Structures are given as C-alpha cells and as structure tokens.
Structure 1
C-alpha cells in the first residue's frame, strides 16, 4: 500500500498552496534590572581588546609621546694657524638640552678662545672651534764678551720663542771685533729651562794672543799705555827694571805689546824676555812645539794689496811678511791650547790658519 501511495503522489499534480499568514509569536517585554543599592567598583577596569576583521588595518594608540630629535655638536681643537692638535670631540644630546663638555688640556698649549660654542643644543648639527696658543719657552740669553779682558761688550740679548719651536742664533756684529769663540747651544728648541750662550770676541787689530808666565827686562825707559796702541798714562817705567809679564799681543801691523797686569801695556822694543829663576824657581822653560804632518797646498787669504806676518814659532818673533794670494806649501799643523791652528810653511816659519785658504783635495 505504501508503494501505491507513493506512485499516486508522483503521478497526480501537486495542489497549489494559498498564502496563509503564519501566526506570530507574542514578543516578550524586558523587565528592567534593578541596580544594586551600592555599586561596587571593579579592582581593575576590564579592557576589551579590539577585534581585527582585516589584517591590513593597524590600530594606533592615541596620544603616543614622540621622542625628541637627536643633536650633534663637533668641537675642533686647533692651533692659531688652524692646524688640528687632537682629533675633534663629537658630543650628542637632545635639542634644547644642556651641553656637558670639558675642553681638554694639551701639553705645551693654553686655551686661547672659542668660536661657536653654546650652552644648549640649539640645532641638530653644530660646529665649535677651540683655538689653543703655544706656550712661550724659557728665554735664551746671549752674552757678548771680550775674550781677552772679560769685559762685557753690550747688554745681554734675550731671545724668546714658543715652546718646542726651533731657533738658530748667529753671533751679533760688534764694531772693531771679530768672533773668536762661542759657548752654549746656538741651535735647538725653546724649552722649559733658561739657556745661555756666550760669544767671545777679539779685537780686529789683535792677530795673536799669548798668555805667559815670564818676565821682561826694560833696556830703556818705557811709556805705559791703557791698551796696545792706546793712550799713554803720562808716566814711565824706568830702564834696567824687571817686570812680570801676563800677555804678549801681536797686532796685525806686526808690532808686539806686553801686558804688565790690568790696563798697563808697553811696547816690546828695547826689552828682553827672560825667566827670573830667583823670583820664580818653578817657572816653566820655553815651550817646544811639535807640529804634526800636514801636507797640503794653499794660499794667503788676507786683504788684497796687504801682507800678513809669519812667525818663527806660534806666538813667537816675527819672521817676515807674506802678501795676499801668495802660494803656500804647508808641511805641518799645530793646534794650541786655545784651539787655534797654526800651519808650518818652513823650518822656522808659521802662519795662523785664519789667514790661509787650503786648496781643494783632488779625489780619484
């Protein structure tokens, strides 16, 4: 039977339904929930995280504080010629915030001035220049002294310069004198210690000077002068008197003068030098010279048209004159206790090396 009922529903057409309104269920009225008598505050507010429906959407919290911009200050450390002394200082901070900096101490320099420095970072990039000046070194004092009398020829000269800078001194020109010797550092660097240079001069008219321990016998009355070829005092030393000798000076004109102590001078004419054994038993005998071999060729280097004296021995008697430019055949050399050089040009012929020009040595 069930089979036939199913077949009948399949063959017979379906009856059309009429629009019959459906019954509507009555709506419930919501009753208000009475509030509690005393509201209780939660211990922590509940925060509901936002639900992201689209992964491309990003939510930003409101009123997020922005970081302050970073500022940079470069401090150059230079000298007065804008040459760097040390690597530059690089300081960083925040705009409108104070700059904390201590300028370094540089040995030998002192901070002189600052360009472009501010107490606060006022821009994202700033440049400051710290200029240092070099400290002065201790002075170098130069003295100009007469070598033979010890007299100061001029006021001391004071040389100053920056610390550690180099200096080079030259002997000052003194009228009537030529430089004879120099003591002290003439070249070097200014340091933290005072340095001294002494220039010794000798009169241009003094060709040779010999310090002796001898006596002189006066064979005639002699005038006494204040210096060689100087001014006479107006009194005389009598003949047949014996006097102590301290120096023997030979001038460029060939004249010989004796120093009797202090500023007392007399000519060597009409005199005889001797060793007074009774007055000075330990007096040394006449000095003997031993020249060393020195084979060279040279010429007289004096003044054109003038002649220079030669001697029987260093500081000895005059042996003659040689004109400027005359050739010399040098046989030996002597360096005395004053570091003066004498050339032997004959058996009893010596000339001061100051008036000799050596010929260049030929090299193969």
Structure 2
C-alpha cells in the first residue's frame, strides 16, 4: 500500500524575464504523490506581459524530473531584436544598467565607435542599444555606421593592426556591479564568448590601447575585456 503513497519527483517552476534572464520571483517547488494531478499557474506581474511557456504545465506527478519555465517581457519593451552593428557617438554618452535605468560608471567619450548586440523599441518611442551585460545606451546623439574594423578587401582589420603589449605578472579585479558580470570577447571589438562576474580576480597577459579611446586587457587565449571595468593591482617598480 505504501507504494501508492510515494512522493513524486518535485517540479520546479521558474518565472523569467525573457530578455534579461532575471527571475521575477523565487523559483516555486511543487510536490505531490505519484499519480496526483498538478497545474502550473500563469501568474501576472506588474508591468510585464506573458510571452511563452516551456515544459509540461500540467500533468501528473511521477518519478521523472520536470522543469517549467514561464517567460515574460516588460510592457514598455514593444520590439526586441538581436543586432550586430556599430554606433558612432557624436556626443558624450551615458551608459545605463538597463533601458530607462540608472547611469553606471563613466560616460563614453564623443567620437568613438561602439558595437551593439541588441536593440529595443519602447512604448514611448525610444530606441535603446545593449552594448554588453547590463550596459545600455539611448539612441540619441549617435548614428549607425559600417564596421570600421573590418575592411571590405579582407585585409587585417583595424583592431588586428593595433599592437597588444605583452604583460607579465599583472593581476586585477573585475569591478562592475554586485551580482552581475561583464562580457568577454574573442578579440578587441570581436564577438562575445563569455561573461565574468564582478569581483573575479584575473591574470592579465596583454594590453591594447586604441589610440587612447578604449583600453582592452587580454585575460586568456582569445579572451579580452574592456579596461574600464578592471582595477589593476598596484605594481612595484
């Protein structure tokens, strides 16, 4: 008889911001006896709308692992698109932790070109670009340009022509926002390949200075981070 009263494998339910990966509430754990029915509620969250669901939203408890994920999008975000483009900054530009968020770090100087990975259009008609994890700029005082680091004749790109200065025994610490991380690129102005969390210690093997505009630090084979989020240890002469 006890066999019929076995507890089934718990079901984890996640409510997630589809664009940022942020959990909108603590993951829910559903428990029940094998054979008993279950149903996952489609909860409502202020300023969010439901987008999609993955996993079995209803069924019976058994001994199989089941995860259910419900995805939501901010009401203010009307259109979201992954992009691969470059922006020329015509004026000093503030970086925000999210679209319509809070300013972070030092603003970007005028006259440089930055790479954007995502574009959103908001309900009030604004356009925002994501430069990296937790780094957003408002489309104002800038323009979309062709990739200045990749010549059409397929010669070495601009970034490849810059010299990486080898460094020895240099260490530093990622200095960003608590609980968040910065992007790691496969080359200066390259593709995102990973993230590295705030507070992480890194070994720095090279430095590239783009004519005083952006400093890049090499932290591994084909791994680069921008210098504005790295604090270098004091070095003794």
Provide the TM-score with structure 2 as the length reference. 0.59
**Match of residue 103 from structure 2:** 232
Instruction: Give, in whole Å, the separation in 2 of the partners of 1:179 and 1:232.
Output: 28
The one of 66, 74, 83 equivalent to 1:195 is 66
Residue 198 and residue 219 in structure 1: after superposition, are their counterparts in 2 closer, same or farther (change >3 A)? same
Q: Does 1:249 align with 2:92?
A: no
1:277 deviates by 5.6
**Match of residue 38 from structure 2:** 167
Instruction: Give, in whole Å, the separation in 1 of the partners of 2:46 and 2:151.
Output: 40
> Structure 1, residues 202-234: CA drift from partner, whole Å, max 9, x if none?
222111111111111112221111111111226
**Match runs of 1:149-164 below 5 Å:** 149-164=20-35
The one of 4, 18, 39 equivalent to 1:147 is 18
**Match runs of 1:297-336 below 5 Å:** none
**Match of residue 76 from structure 2:** 205
> Structure 1, residues 162-181: CA drift from partner, whole Å, max 9, x if none?
21122221222233322222
**Match of residue 264 from structure 1:** 135
Residue 234 and residue 139 in structure 1: after superposition, are their counterparts in 2 closer, same or farther (change >3 A)? closer
1:240 is paired with a residue whose SS is: coil
**Match of residue 183 from structure 2:** none
Q: Which has the higher contact order (CA 8 A, sep 6+)?
A: 2
Q: Structure 1: which 5+ residue stretches go unaligned? A: 1-104, 110-133, 283-364
**Match of residue 150 from structure 2:** 279
Instruction: Give, in whole Å, the separation in 1 of the partners of 2:28 and 2:136.
Output: 32
Structure with bigger gyration radius = 1
Instruction: Give, in whole Å, the separation in 1 of the partners of 2:74 and 2:132.
Output: 18
Q: List 4+ stretches of structure 1 deviating above 6 A.
A: none
**Match runs of 1:1-364 below 5 Å:** 105=1, 108-109=3-4, 134-233=5-104, 235-276=106-147, 278-279=149-150
Instruction: Give, in whole Å, the separation in 1 of the partners of 2:107 and 2:63.
Output: 55
Provide the TM-score with structure 1 as the length reference. 0.39
Residue 236 and residue 184 in structure 1: after superposition, are their counterparts in 2 closer, same or farther (change >3 A)? same
**Match of residue 328 from structure 1:** none
Instruction: Give, in whole Å, the separation in 1 of the partners of 2:77 and 2:58.
Output: 29
Instruction: Give, in whole Å, the separation in 2 of the partners of 1:149 and 1:280.
Output: 33
1:223 is paired with a residue whose SS is: coil
Q: Structure 2: which 5+ residue stretches go unaligned? A: 155-237
Q: What number of residue pairs does the alignment pair up?
A: 153
**Match of residue 202 from structure 2:** none
